[in-house]
Amino acid sequence: MRARHPARAARRPLAGVLAGALAGTLALTGCTADSPAASPPSGSPTGASGSGSPAVAVDDPALDAAESTPVEDRVYPQVGDPGVDALHYDLDLDWAPDSRTLTGVETLVFRATEDAEQFQLDFGAPLEVSAVRLDGEDATYDHTGKDLVVHAPVTKDRRYTLVVEYAGMPKPVAAPTTRTDFSTLGWTVNRDGTTWTMQEPFGAYSWYAVNDQPSDKALYDFTITAPDPMVGVANGTLESRVKGDDETTVTRWHLDEPASSYLVTVAIGDYEETRDRSDSGVPVTYWTPRSQPRFAHRVQVAADELDWIEKKLGPYPFSSLGILLVESQSGMETQTMITLGTETYATSAPVIVHEMVHQWYGDEVTPVDWRDVWMNEGMAMYLQLAWQADNAGAPIDRFLRQYAAIEPALRREAGPPADYDPAAFGRGNVYYSPALMWHQLRLRLGEKRFWSGVRAWPKAHANGNASYDDITTWWSERTGRDLSAFFDAWLLSKRSPRS
Ligand SMILES: [Zn+2]
């Protein structure tokens, strides 16, 4: 997610930065994507709306890449179920803007992680389930609150195909944060009937049945039917775009590398598509509202910025990149298709850098649970500041000094970066404190060892998840120094280390 704060720091004197942070007006953002050539699962969906037929065979070897070790979240244990390892979501979505109704046929291939008499997914209460089938057989279920419980025995490590048919008016869910740039999460409908989603740390369940916790990565296919002139946009690559015979447009999107549910995006609106390409050959597409053409030009810095980031982090980890604009105040590193609000800061060059860095830090390698969101935001913030310094022809220290000055207050306000207040998700403490920490590590290790580690870490867990112990141990082993006290001081202490 993005942080609104840094651009203010660049434009305003320090007093303004301090006042903003202390008044709790700090706002933040994030985002990411990975590599080519991964073949789509065989038998990928036909796009036959409402067919409900299994899109992908359970034994398709392409699904192996999506096997995860799901855990219960320590910060938000009410969301997600470690009994389910989702492998592939096929989401067939039909949007009716006049009635604000979403009709969905979801086909989920999952692995049971334990023997159980029942299993459950997160699924928003406003949506009404009309049928649940497990491996083709009707299954009984309860849908109480946001829990969809399927009463059918499952066997550890067996794969199953679950079909859920549903319809209703999706409602976003409350965000566990005091940030000012968002207060709800998930499926959001604008006045004109266009829609978008942002769902960190959860909220995907407001529009499909999902194991909504970051340790469970899965592959995705989307089929989105929208009335003209609207078009549906989602993660991955656009496989087809066809006119229906009832004044609709049907788009099919395929994401070929596994993603956590908070990194999924869908938006439906009257979009203009602009195609671009980075120097390194990554195809980049911009999806901007036809009614606001100025944004099409504004976000086209992404391809050039990607070249700068690849010099720091190595080749972009996914097969395509997109920028999708929506009526939000924030920005998200949704995998391969970054979602940005149609406002000045969210579409600024530093925020686009930030969200692209997340494709490596957050998307390619993802925290096991929300305790370690600092792993995403610290490096995205640090490289954002490095880009801003390069762009301004100024030393990065000039930017860092401002954040060092406010860091103790951020830590007091929301807690240590890796042990924060659950009601204060995504505050400045998970951005600026770890950004300062990475700079201190750079000074300790020297340029070569620091940057080679920064490049190597995402590859060490490509398409996977990592914990606090994983990353801190990895840096210690790689450098031959015991860095555990260094990381603990920065990430777990109530008091700020000296920087
Ligand atoms: Zn971020």
Backbone angles phi, psi at 63, to 5 degrees: -75, -15
- When pLDDT is cut at 50, 70 and 90, the band that residue 13 belongs to is very low
> What's the CA gap between 62 and 405, in Å, rounded?
49
200-230: per-residue pLDDT in tens?
999 999 999 999 999 999 999 999 999 999 9
> What's the CA gap between 299 and 409, in Å, rounded?
33
- When pLDDT is cut at 50, 70 and 90, the band that residue 280 belongs to is very high
Q: Give the Å distance between the CA of 206 and the centre of ligand 1.
A: 22
Distance in Å from the first CA to the final CA of the chain:
25
> What's the CA gap between 64 and 259, in Å, rounded?
13
Backbone angles phi, psi at 338, to 5 degrees: -70, 135
> What's the CA gap between 175 and 206, in Å, rounded?
12
> What's the CA gap between 493 and 445, in Å, rounded?
22
Decide if 122 contacts 212 (C-beta within 8 A): yes
322-356: per-residue pLDDT in tens?
999 999 999 999 999 999 999 999 999 999 999 99
Q: Give the Å distance between the CA of 407 and the centre of ligand 1.
A: 17
Contacts of 51 (CB under 8 A, 6+ apart): 92, 105
112-135: per-residue pLDDT in tens?
999 999 999 999 999 999 999 999
Q: Give the Å distance between the CA of 30 and the centre of ligand 1.
A: 3
> What's the CA gap between 42 and 355, in Å, rounded?
31
Residue 45 in this model has a pLDDT that exceeds 50: no
> What's the CA gap between 287 and 290, in Å, rounded?
9
292-326: per-residue pLDDT in tens?
999 999 999 999 999 999 999 999 999 999 999 99
Q: Give the Å distance between the CA of 375 and the centre of ligand 1.
A: 10
Q: In what order do the strands lie in the sheet with 84-96?
A: 137-138, 127-134, 159-168, 101-112, 84-96, 218-227, 248-259, 237-243
Higher pLDDT, 245 or 54: 245
* pLDDT score recorded for residue 2: 83
How far from chain centre, in Å, is Cα 303? 20
Q: What is the mean pLDDT of residues 374-379?
A: 98
- Average pLDDT score, the chain: 91
As residues whose CB is below 5 A from the ion ligand 1, the structure lists 1, 30, 377, 380
> What's the CA gap between 175 and 5, in Å, rounded?
20
Q: Give the Å distance between the CA of 270 and the centre of ligand 1.
A: 27
> What's the CA gap between 136 and 157, in Å, rounded?
19
CA quadruple 79, 219, 64, 368: dihedral sign: negative
Give the burial string for 251-282 (b: 16+ CB within 10 Å, else e). bbbbbbbbbbbbbbbbbbbebeeeebebeeeb
Q: Give the Å distance between the CA of 200 and the centre of ligand 1.
A: 10
Q: Give the Å distance between the CA of 148 and the centre of ligand 1.
A: 31
Q: Give the Å distance between the CA of 352 and the centre of ligand 1.
A: 10
450-476: per-residue pLDDT in tens?
999 999 999 999 999 999 999 999 999
Q: Give the Å distance between the CA of 333 and the centre of ligand 1.
A: 7
Q: Give the Å distance between the CA of 357 and the centre of ligand 1.
A: 8
406-459: per-residue pLDDT in tens?
999 999 999 999 999 999 999 999 999 999 999 999 999 999 999 999 999 999
Q: Give the Å distance between the CA of 332 and the centre of ligand 1.
A: 7
Of 240, 266, 236, 268, the residue nearest 252 (C-alpha)? 240
Residue 258 in this model has a pLDDT that exceeds 70: yes
> What's the CA gap between 489 and 358, in Å, rounded?
24
> What's the CA gap between 464 and 215, in Å, rounded?
8
Q: Give the Å distance between the CA of 438 and the centre of ligand 1.
A: 15
Share of the chain above pLDDT 90, in %: 88
Q: Letter for the amino acid at 408?
A: P
- When pLDDT is cut at 50, 70 and 90, the band that residue 192 belongs to is very high
* pLDDT score recorded for residue 245: 76
